[in-house]
Amino acid sequence: MMQFPFITRAGVSSPSSSSTVPFLLAFIIASCFLCHINQALITLPPTVIPPPAVFGFGDSIIDPGNNNNLTTVVKCNFPPYGKDFMGGMPTGRFCNGRVPTDFFVEELGIKNLLPAYLDPNLGPQDLLTGVSFASGAAGYDPLTSKIASVLSLADQLKLFKEYTGKLKKIAGEERTKTILKESFYALCAGSDDIANTYFPTPFRKKDYDVPAYTDLMLRSASNFIQELYKLGARRIAVLDVPPIGCVPSQRTIAGGQERKCADEYNQAALLFNSKLSSQIDYLNNKLPQAKIVFVDIYKPLLGIIENPNTYGFDDVLEGCCGTGKIEVAILCNGLVPVTCPDDSKFLFWDSYHPTERGYRWLTTLIIQQNLDRFF
C-alpha cells in the first residue's frame, strides 16, 4: 500500500543473495534460537501447534526494508522515518516505527520483528522464523511494480523459492516442509494498482473500465495464492484493499478543495474486495487443507477514520510529515519537519501510511476478528 504521485522508471536492481552460512554453524545457532523465543501474547487453541514462522508478501504496509537497495525512489531508509523505532533508526519501514507483521510475530511469540529478506545481516534464526518479501509500491497488476521499479509479486515469489533452498541447508528437507506447511503467510496488495496505476495514469484506462481492471487484479491475486500453495503454504491471510480514497494524499489529489474521501477510489476498492472474497471461498474449496482467510481491513480502517475519538486519535485527515497532505517516501525526508505535536494522536504518519499506533490498532482488530479462522 503505497501512493507516490511522482514515480519515475529507473530499472529494478537484481537483489543479491545473502552470504552462505556454513551448515554446521548455522544449524547450531538456529537450534539454540528455537529454544529461546518470546512469550506469546495470542492465546491459541490448546490442540494447535504454534506457527514456526511468518512470511510477508505484497506492498509497503508490510515492507520492512526490501526496497532499500533497489534503484527506485520508493524507499524510506532515511529520517524522519523510523523516528520512534528502536534507537530512532530508519530501517526502510514506511512508518515512524513498527509495521503490522512486526506486531504479529511479537504477538505469536516468535520474535520481536519480521525482517526484510534482502537485509544483508540476516542470520539462520531469521530464516527459520520468517521474513518479509514485500516491496513498497508493488501491486497485483505487473505494470504497477514496473512503473515504480520495485519487486513484483513474481519477483517476490522467486525470492521465496531462493529462501526455501537456503532453509533446506539449515533445517533439512523434512523440517523445511513442516515449517512451510505450519507457518502463517500474509499477502497485502492492491492499493497501488488503484491509486498509482489505474486512476492517475492512462496506461490501463484506455483498455479497462473499473470492473475489467479489478478482474485483472483478481486473476493475478488468485494465481499468486495458488503458486504459494504449490510451494507449501497452507495458512494464508489475504488482506483486502483499504479505503484508499480516505488517506491524506488521496484526499489531496482527488478529494476536491474540501479534501473529502475520493469516492471513486473507494468504490473500486470495494468492488475488488467483493470479488476477492468470493475467489478465496472458491480456492478454499479447490485446494486441500488450505486455510486461506479473507482479512477485512477496509471496515476497521474506515471505522477509525469515521470515529477517531473512540480510538484515541485527534487527527485522521493529515499525516505527521510536513504538511501531512502529500509528503510520502522521498518527499518525506530529513529536510521536511515532523509537524504533528504527538504522533501517537495521529492515524497517519506520512500522507499514506499509518503511524505505529495506527498499525497497532489495526493489527489488534485484525487478530481479534480472524485468528480462529486459521484453525
Q: Which residues belong to the active site?
A: 60, 350, 353
SS3 call for 152? coil
SS3 call for 177? helix
Asked if residues 228 and 287 have their Cβ atoms less than 8 Å apart, the reply is no
Asked if residues 108 and 40 have their Cβ atoms less than 8 Å apart, the reply is yes
Asked if residues 129 and 112 have their Cβ atoms less than 8 Å apart, the reply is no
Phi, psi (deg, nearest 5) at residue 28: -65, -45
In the chain, the amino acid numbered 34 is L
Residue 13: count other Cβ atoms within 10 Å of its Cβ. Answer: 12
SS3 call for 292? strand
Bridge partners of residue 56, in order along the sequence: 132, 186
Residue 308: count other Cβ atoms within 10 Å of its Cβ. Answer: 17
Residue 165: count other Cβ atoms within 10 Å of its Cβ. Answer: 10
